[in-house]
Structures are given as C-alpha cells and as structure tokens.
Structure 1
C-alpha cells in the first residue's frame, strides 16, 4: 500500500463546532431570558426605577430630595442607582417593556458567559458549563429588571481581576478601578466590591513568601485607597458611601423586606440541595482549600443564609473562590483555547438582534397584572383621591402613574421607625396606630392587597366604603367625617 493511499484525511470540523462554550452560554441564556421576559419585570420597583430615570433625563439633574411621596416629600434622598435608572428609562423609550427586559437579559447572559469563560481557563469546558448552569438555576429568581442585575458582569470581571492578582502574588491592575467607579454609579452594592478586595488581599498575603508580604501589602493598600476613591467618583461623592451604609442600618425592617429575609429551608429548594451537594462532595472527595479561601466561602454562605438577595453572590463567586485550588488538587486541565469565528458569531448575533426586534414589535412583554393595578388606579383618579395609604407592592406603579405615594420600595428614605409603624398598623398589630396613620396623614383613600388585615378591617369601619375590588387590590375611600373619628361600626 502506497503512502498516498495510506493517508487518512482529517475530518473537517464545522465552524459552529469551534465556537467556545462561553459564547454558547451567552446566546442560550439571552434567548431563554427573553422568552420568559415577563418574569424579568415581576417586581413593582421596576416602575419607579424607570420613573426616576425619566426624571433625570428630563431635568438633566439628579434628585436630592424626595419628590414621589407625600409622607417624606422634600426629605433628603439620593438615587445611588442613577445610571442604571437612566439606562432602563432609555431602554424603555426605545422598545417599550421589551427594552428593560432585553437589557436585563443581556446583562444576565454576559454574567454567565463570563463565569463560563473564567472557569474554562482552569477546567474542561463541560465542567465550566455545568457549574454556570447550576449558578443560573440558583439565581434565576433574582434576575429582575433592577439595577443589581446590571452590575453582575462588572462584579465578575472585578472579582476575577482580584483573584488572578492574588494567585500571581501581585497587586491588582489599576485598570480595574474604573470598573468599581462604574459599579458605584449603577448600584449601591459596590461596597461588596470593597469587601472582596479585602478578602483577596488577605489571600495574596497568604500565598506570598514572607519576604514579599510587606511590599505586596503596600501595593494592595495603595490599590484599596484608589478603589475607595473610585467609589466616590459619583455625582453624590462621599454621599454614595453613606447612602449604601444607610441601607445596611435598617435593623428590624430588613427582616420584613422579602429580599432581605434569611433563607427559609422549611421546603427543599435548589439552594438547600446545592449546599448539601457541596458539603457531601467536599467530604467524599477530600477537597482542600487555603484558609483565606475557606473564610471567603464561609462568608459567601453566611451572606446567602442571612439575606436571600445575596444568593446570586454565593452562586457566582463560590466557583471562583474554589476554582484554582480544586483544579490543582484534582489535576483538572482546561482544553485548548477556542477562539470565536467571524461567521458563526455574526450569524448568532444577527439572529438574537432579530428575535429581540420581533419580540419588541409584538409587544408581548409587560409587567404582570399583580404589580400593575391599572383599573384600580383609574378608579382612584376618577374619585380625585389625593392622599392614598397604599400597600408597599403598589408604590412603584403609583409613582409610574404620577400618584403621590404613602410608601414605596425606597426603604432607606422612609427608615426603620416609619416602616415598622406602618407594618404594625396594616397588619393590625397596632390598631390605634392604624387610626393614627389615617388621621395624621389625612388619608382619603386606602389601597391594599385583599390579604392585608387592614383591608378587611375597613369593611367594618364607619366613614369608609369600598370603591373598587378585584383579586389583586381593594380600594376604600372616606365617605365623610374625620378619619380619626372612624371606629368599628356598632
């Protein structure tokens, strides 16, 4: 047999087969989130976030006092998420409700693509993809059209930059500083970026030789000072730091806000299964981590258990914290780097843009009715109600409809004392307090969820009658006399 006939030609590889895993992840997550676009808008705060963004664009200024409520009107308030609110408002102006949903989907897709790309540098792409998909399952309930989603890609790049610098026993690149400045203008959670900085600085000290520690500590300290200064590169300056700290000092109120509540394991869910799986896997395989990484893992777990809003931090950053130690311990090796090809990349990007345009043209994406009580607010306006005592979940939509609110999602504005008294009054834990609210704020309409005890209570109060009711909302209006004089009918 001649050499010619013995030669076996190599099989030609499809261009699509050479697309890196992170690109497939980005396209898949974006398409999935766009398909379930309504769920991305299932938060009443989205309404007031866009309303604030519109106000900023219209006035070319940032709010410094409250202009949306009648209970705190004129009180100091700063919008620490001003840039995200502007982006959401512009997205809405461009494509209606598809705009904020697409922006959220794009940031979610970028986040999980970055996670896949980072992991793929140390472990096989299939493992990286499985970890990223697990993180997606854990965080899907937190992917909402709100500012915190816009900073998730920034957080991934920031954390990866700190991690790489720590493992190389060097200071982080000062090119990372613009990232945390951008983070500080998008969302008040930038304080966590500083916490990550401290954690990886300790990790760097641990990894370094004794002779390297002092100069390395000085370099990380200089970077930390630069990061702190970058966090103040906002229109509010140092006020951004103070506003973020104010949210963390709301005390007992944090236990009443759904996203700040602790994890609840009364029913088995994905979070509990993931924790049990991680503990079981670590025990069975004998996973070993350096002490600083153990502290970081435990810190992320504590945050997720303390407040459910931190679940995405646990899901996204735990793989990074354990990545290199686990990959080294089990001798996991990444495959060769696959670079994007122009043809398939272009095809997929065009397809995703076309699908976004098609979804926007059909106008199928919109917030759910439970957060959009249009008929109820129409009834309020027809009745010329001026001072409405509203349930918290309706605050965003009332702001959207330019109705002054009693309370909304800006907990840092209202404060612990005000909101706790409000909660106890509406839950009838303090009946006299409820009557005091009606009198003190001269309430002429009450707009509550049917399940709120005060809503049913008003059915039996002299001087009040139902104006409107459906499955989501009940409105009572005052029929005469002073609100303070209203008492249960004999």
Structure 2
C-alpha cells in the first residue's frame, strides 16, 4: 500500500516539477532571451530612473529626439530590470525572467490542477510554451505574462463563487498599468467575465452592480500611473502609427515567420474537437477575439496562449488525483533556490546585433560623441554604452516620420541617406551585415570609409 502511494506521488510530482520548475528555469537561463536590442535600453531607462529618482518625460538618450516628449509606460518593469542588473549583471536579468516564468507556469498549473490530471497539465504547458518561446525575451512583456495568468485566475475564481472579484483586486491594475501596456487586455478579460456573469446570473441587477463597481475600480486604477492620462491612452495611440508594419512583433502572424504558433493552434483545435470542452459562450468569444488579435499582430500570440491555457482546462473537468500536500511547499522553496542560483551563475550573451559589444568597443573614442547612423537593434546597446543613437526600439516615441524615413535609408535610398546626413550632421555609422543595401551604398559612397568590421557588423566613419 505504501509502495503504491509512493508511486502515485511520484507520478503526480514529476509533471509538477517539470512544468513549474525545470522548464521555466531552462527557458530563463537561455541566452536567447537577450536576442533583442530593446533589453539594453530598458535596463538603461531603469538605471536613469534609479539615478534621478524620477520618471523621464522627455527623451534623455537619442540625439534625434533629445528633449522631445516620451511616455515610458513600462517604467516599473525597467526599474526591476535595472535593479536586477545592478545586483548580478545579466545573470540578475535572467534570474528575474526565471522568476516571472516560474510564476506564470505555477499559475497555469495550479488552475488546471482543479480540472485535469498532472500529465495533461504538462502537455498544456508545453503547448503554451511552443507559442511563447519565440517571444521569450528579457523585456517588460515577459514580466506581464504572469500577471495575465493571475488576473484570469482571479476572474475564474470570482465566477466560481458567483460574485465579482473583491475591489482590492483592482489594485493589481495599478501595478499592471505601470509595468506594461497589456493592461488594456486585462480590462478586456475582466469585461468578458463581467458579461458572462450578467448573462448567466439569475439576479442580473446584482451582477451588474457588483461587476460594474469592480470594472469602475479597474478603470480608476489604471489612471494611477506615472504618466497620467497619456499613460492610459498611449497603448491605444500606438495602434494608429504607420510604421507598425515595419516592426516584427506588430506584423500579422504568418506561418513562414512563426510556424510553431500555427502548429500549436492546429494542435489546440484538434484537442478541442476531440475533447469538446464545455465553456460558456462568452469565454469562447473571448478566445475568438484573442485569436483574431493574434492573427492581426504577432505580439498578441502570447496573450492567446496564456488565456487559452487558463480557460480550456475549466471545460475539461475529469476526476483526477490531487497533489500531495507537502509538494507545493517544496516547489516554492525549490523555485526560490533556482532563482538565486540563476542570479549567481554567470550567463554568456550571444554575439549578435542585439549584443554588439565587441563592435561597439572597437568604435574610436573621437567618434562616440558624434551623431551616428545605427542599426535599429543596435540602438539599445549604444544607449547602455553611453552613446546617443539615431534610432532604437522606441519606435512609438520616434513616430512615423523618423522610422519610415529610416527604413528608406536602410533600403539603400541614397537621397534619404544624404538628407539624414545633412540634417543631423551624421559622422559615423554602425550597422549589421544584414543591412546589405545600405552597407553596399556606404562602400561605394565617397567620403565614407570602413574603420572596423567583425562577424556582427561594420563601423564606418565620414571624412
């Protein structure tokens, strides 16, 4: 009997340990989470905030937008990133990402454990991670993923209890609105569950009052941010920029670019057809809405994956064995240990255009203070190195005029290059090799000379 019980505990524990500890720890330790130049300017922004004890409202970093308006709506995440970086360098950033991923996976696991068995939960987590991995970067959106899952859990718990979430839960929106622009999706999720309550409740008047009050509290909470009204409206204004199709995460989903997303969606649809999960129509509508968003813009794939992982198990209730009481305490302690170990162990950054540190180190000192034409992903590393870039990942701040014009330059438009050189008195350039047309243009242009080149990119100076 004891042997059978021990065997059962092991079967329950292994998926839990894999799904909540080992998988997120491995993902958080991967150097690929630094494959984005935006990581650097997020760290630099957090450092600026810590040093000045204030939130910047004008751009302190570039020479093209210096002193002009900037809305840093992710300032809280940036402070966390800068703090982690100061404590343990890039290993600290990896530890922060690991902690966030463990929190996400734990929330998905705990929620699903009420409805399905441990091995099915592990499969659900793997399917979710297939979608998340291409977007698993050490940026504020990764920290917001756990919030999306926890917020959805709060809504599910409220519906299970046939009442609105407690008003105190709306305070989470204060954190979210200062962490990442996905707080708008949080409002949509809350509204969907409020609609479900209104449709399903026998006392619709009471449901309208309680959920309406909670919704009003959430709306009030998002205004408690460092940027005021602009912090609330900024995520909506981004959607109207002409330059969005030039940025990968804002492009429509494509099987050629993100094939694993379409693989995961196909697998999920097949499982839905086989198991027929019983969800309220409003929940299906919410998933349909998120699917449309994900198809329109790649960045929303993660939201769809997380919310689906939270909602679909609720329609698949089956008898299952419960986790041994001691296991959650062990998992919590093990998670804390993994985060500490991740912070202590060094991590090797990939050498690419998002981390062109050797290329930047080779830039002559006399050029560093001069106006530069840089690769888009190199803008963040330049900022973190104390060099003012022409452009960086804050495309929403620069706007259509500069970013669309920059795209013409990188496409090898000689007139656009000449105009930018004259307007900004550009003295040098640091570019990745993939800017083939622009590199070729500089190679054949009089007055430009190559001063350094490595496997990541090339540095030019203008005579």
| TM-score, shorter chain, exceeding 0.5 | yes
Structure 1 residue 304 corresponds to structure 2 residue 288: no
Within 2, Cα distance between the matches of 1:143 and 1:290?
31
In structure 2, which of residues 205, 212, 217 is the aligned counterpart of residue 221 of structure 1? 212
Aligned to 2:62: 69
Residue by residue over 1:154-206, the C-alpha shift from the partner in whole angstroms, topping out at 9 and shown as x without a partner, is 22111111123234432122121121111111112211111111111122222
Contact (CA 8 Å) 1:155, 1:193: kept in 2 or not?
Answer: yes
CA contact (8 A) 2:275 2:316 kept: no
1:486 equivalent in structure 2: none
1:431: which partner in 2?
A: 414
Q: Distance in 2 between matches of 1:53 and 1:223?
A: 32
Is the contact made by 1:15 and 1:341 (CA closer than 8 Å) also made in structure 2? no
1:167–1:204: 8 Å Cα contact kept in structure 2? Answer: no
Over the residues paired in the alignment, what is the CA RMSD in angstroms? 2.5
Change (3 A) 1:418 1:240: same
Secondary structure in structure 2 of the residue aligned to 1:238: helix
Query: Residue 72 of structure 1 contacts residue 414 of structure 1 at CA under 8 Å; is this kept in 2?
Result: yes
1:94 aligned to 2:84? no
Distance 1:473 1:10 in 2: 61
The answer as to whether partners of 1:392 and 1:407 remain within 8 angstroms in 2 is yes
Q: Partners of 2:426 and 2:230 in 1: how far apart?
A: 33
- Cα 1:116–1:384 change in 2 (3 A) is same
The 3 A distance-change label for structure 1 pair 415 and 258 is: same
Number of the residue aligned with 1:340: 326
Counterpart secondary structure, 1:39: helix
Distance 1:319 1:354, change over 3 A: closer
2:99 corresponds, among 106, 110, 113, to 106
Determine if the alignment matches structure 1 residue 355 to structure 2 residue 341. Answer: yes
Which residue among 454, 460, 468 is the counterpart of 2:452?
468
Change (3 A) 1:107 1:286: closer
Q: Are 2:119 and 1:133 equivalent residues in the alignment?
A: no
Q: Distance in 2 between matches of 1:244 and 1:189?
A: 8
Q: 2:348 — aligned with what?
A: 365
Give the secondary structure class of the aligned counterpart of 2:40: helix
Q: Which runs of 5+ in 1 are unaligned?
A: 1-7, 480-490
Distance in 2, Cα, partners of 1:200 & 1:167: 11
Partner of 2:460: helix, strand, or coil?
strand
- Determine if contact 2:452/2:459 at 8 Å carries over to the other structure: yes
Are 2:231 and 1:248 equivalent residues in the alignment? no
SS at match of 1:446: strand
Which of 221, 225, 236 matches 1:234? 225
Whether the aligned pair in 1 keeps the contact of 2:13 and 2:323 (CA below 8 Å) is: no
What pairs up with 1:317-336 in 2 under 5 angstroms? 317-327=307-317, 332-336=318-322
1:337 Cα deviation from its structure 2 partner? 4.8
Q: Distance in 2 between matches of 1:107 and 1:156?
A: 11
Structure 1 residue 336 displacement after superposition: 3.0
Give matches, 1:169-318, under 5 Å: 169-209=162-202, 212-250=203-241, 252-266=242-256, 269-287=259-277, 289-318=279-308
Task: Please identify the structure whose Cα radius of gyration is greater.
Answer: 1
Structure 1 residues 341 and 379, CA, compared in 2 at 3 Å: closer, same or farther? closer
TM-score, length basis structure 1: 0.87
Structure 1 residue 334 displacement after superposition: 3.8
Question: Unaligned regions of 5+ residues in structure 2, if any?
Answer: none
1:487 maps to which residue?
none
Deviation at 1:19, TM superposition (A): 4.8
Offset of 1:99 from its aligned partner?
A: 0.2
Deviation at 1:347, TM superposition (A): 6.7
Task: Classify the secondary structure of the residue corresponding to 2:459.
Answer: strand
8 A contact 1:143–1:149 mirrored in 2: yes
Q: How far has the Cα of 1:367 moved from its partner?
A: 4.8
Cα displacement (A) at 1:16: 7.0
With normalisation by structure 2, the TM-score equals: 0.92
1:100 to 1:162, Cα distance in 2 relative to 1, 3 A = same
Distance 2:328 2:150 in 1: 24
Secondary structure in structure 2 of the residue aligned to 1:96: helix
Find the residue that maps to 1:384 and give its secondary structure.
helix
Distance 1:463-1:228 versus aligned 2 partners, 3 A rule: same
Instruction: Give the superposition deviation at 1:128.
Output: 1.7
SS of equivalent to 1:13: helix
| Bigger relative CO (Cα 8 Å, ≥ 6 apart) | 2
Question: CA separation of 1:249/1:101 partners in 2, compared to 1, >3 Å: closer, same or farther?
Answer: same
Does 1:407 pair with 2:391? Answer: yes
Instruction: Measure, in 1, the Cα distance between the counterparts of 2:350 and 2:198.
Output: 48
Q: 1:29 aligns with which of 23, 28, 31?
A: 23
Aligned residues: 460
